[in-house]
């Protein structure tokens, strides 16, 4: 089996490609390398270019007419950047995504697994796929807008879509073929690793949220578990979105119970064997209690549950962070 992975040189896409290879699936990568890394494409078929380039998509399907499905991981994802450049985000995440769909349909490809985002939900705990959407940033709104378009398109074409919604991927490929390429991640664990390495205290922003210990709650899932979920979506695709089944199906991925900031600190200390210096601060403007999704649908339809613990994700992230600069050659 072959799958086309757009954004296949990025953190998520390249890790899915690694998992595909381990499962006997041949990944075909499409990436413009604007943020993806050429090191992540070694030994893999790469087409460098834009997902909106119809001629390139046609060439890929001419070269590989046996592509079974497409996993679309191509997107711009930095929330503050989306606030500064909303037009660029709508162009990359919506306009070009729609162009990709047009090119896929023209080439007779009707199976699309979309790497979505649980950031489209309102804050809350154990959020189901049927919960109302409340995207709060231009980034999140582009993801919600594209999801809406995909659902409409499946109603009037042969396109079928499984969308996987998740929050913060952590960890790395267990064989360290791929990992987080940025040196300055903005999620809590990334900041924690940075502060730990610099010997600086980690800030806990707000301690009176309506959570089990008062600190904000977020969701973290090992990137290797995410890769497994994408493969499961490809393997179960025709069962869950074909025939009499819905033609568009969102599925949450996550831990199933979320992680508070204090729990993240404790897990980090479990891994390092050292206390993590931290200090309590007031909540920042725009902060909220946080959210995590329910994952019952993923288990029922894909047979998927996370296999890796939070501690394993932290340990993998620390291992990758220690070796990143020997694997990626930054200029």
Q: Tokens in use for 19? A: 């998992």
| Count of CB atoms situated within 10 Å of the CB of 73 | 26
CA atoms 320, 321, 322, 323: torsion sign? positive
Catalytic residue among 139, 166, 248, 292: 139
- Cα 276 from Cα 204, distance rounded (Å): 12
Each as own residue / partner, the long-range contacts of residues 186-192 (CB below 8 Å, 24 or more positions apart, any chain) are 186/78, 186/79, 186/80, 187/218, 188/218, 188/261, 188/264, 189/220, 189/264, 189/268, 189/313, 189/314, 189/317, 190/317, 192/264, 192/265, 192/268, 192/276
Q: Measuring CA to CA, which residue among 108, 132, 111 is closest to residue 122?
A: 132
- Cα 22 from Cα 26, distance rounded (Å): 9
| Contact yes or no for 260/217 (Cβ under 8 A) | yes
Q: Measuring CA to CA, which residue among 26, 46, 28, 25 is closest to residue 37?
A: 46
Helix or strand or coil: residue 62? helix
- Cα 289 from Cα 29, distance rounded (Å): 38
Confirm whether 220 is a catalytic residue: no
CA dist 178 → 12, 78, 163, 275, 304 (Å) = 9, 20, 23, 29, 22
CA atoms 224, 226, 229, 235: torsion sign? negative
Residue showing tokens 């930095």: 78
Name the residues annotated as catalytic: 139
């Amino acid at each position: 089996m072959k799958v086309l992975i757009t954004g296949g040189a990025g953190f998520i896409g390249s890790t899915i490609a690694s998992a595909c290879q381990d499962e006997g699936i041949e990944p075909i990568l499409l990436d413009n390398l604007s943020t993806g890394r050429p090191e992540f494409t070694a030994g893999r078929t790469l087409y460098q270019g834009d997902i909106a380039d119809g001629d390139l998509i046609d060439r890929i399907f001419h070269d590989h007419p046996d592509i079974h499905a497409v996993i679309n991981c191509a997107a711009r994802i930095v929330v503050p950047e989306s606030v500064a450049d909303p037009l660029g985000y709508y162009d990359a995440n919506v306009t070009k995504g729609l162009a990709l769909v047009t090119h896929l349909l023209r080439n007779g490809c009707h199976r699309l697994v979309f790497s979505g985002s649980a950031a489209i939900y309102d804050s809350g705990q154990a959020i189901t796929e049927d919960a109302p959407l409340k995207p709060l940033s231009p980034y999140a709104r582009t993801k919600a807008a594209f999801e809406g378009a995909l659902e409409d398109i499946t109603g009037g074409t042969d396109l079928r879509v499984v969308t996987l919604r998740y929050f913060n991927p952590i960890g790395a490929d267990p064989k360290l073929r791929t990992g987080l390429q940025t040196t300055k991640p903005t999620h809590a664990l990334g900041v924690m690793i940075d502060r730990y390495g610099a010997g600086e205290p980690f800030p806990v922003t707000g301690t009176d949220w309506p959570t089990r210990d008062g600190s904000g709650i977020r969701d973290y899932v090992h990137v290797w578990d995410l890769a497994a979920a994408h493969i499961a979506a490809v393997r179960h695709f025709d069962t869950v979105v074909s025939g009499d089944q819905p033609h568009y199906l969102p599925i949450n991925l996550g831990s199933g119970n979320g992680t508070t900031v204090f729990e993240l600190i404790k897990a980090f200390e479990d891994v390092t064997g050292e206390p993590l210096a931290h200090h309590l601060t007031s909540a920042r403007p725009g902060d909220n209690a946080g959210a995590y999704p329910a994952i019952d649908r993923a288990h029922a339809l894909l047979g998927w549950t996370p296999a890796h613990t939070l501690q394993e994700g932290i340990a993998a992230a620390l291992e990758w962070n220690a070796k990143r600069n020997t694997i990626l050659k930054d200029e």
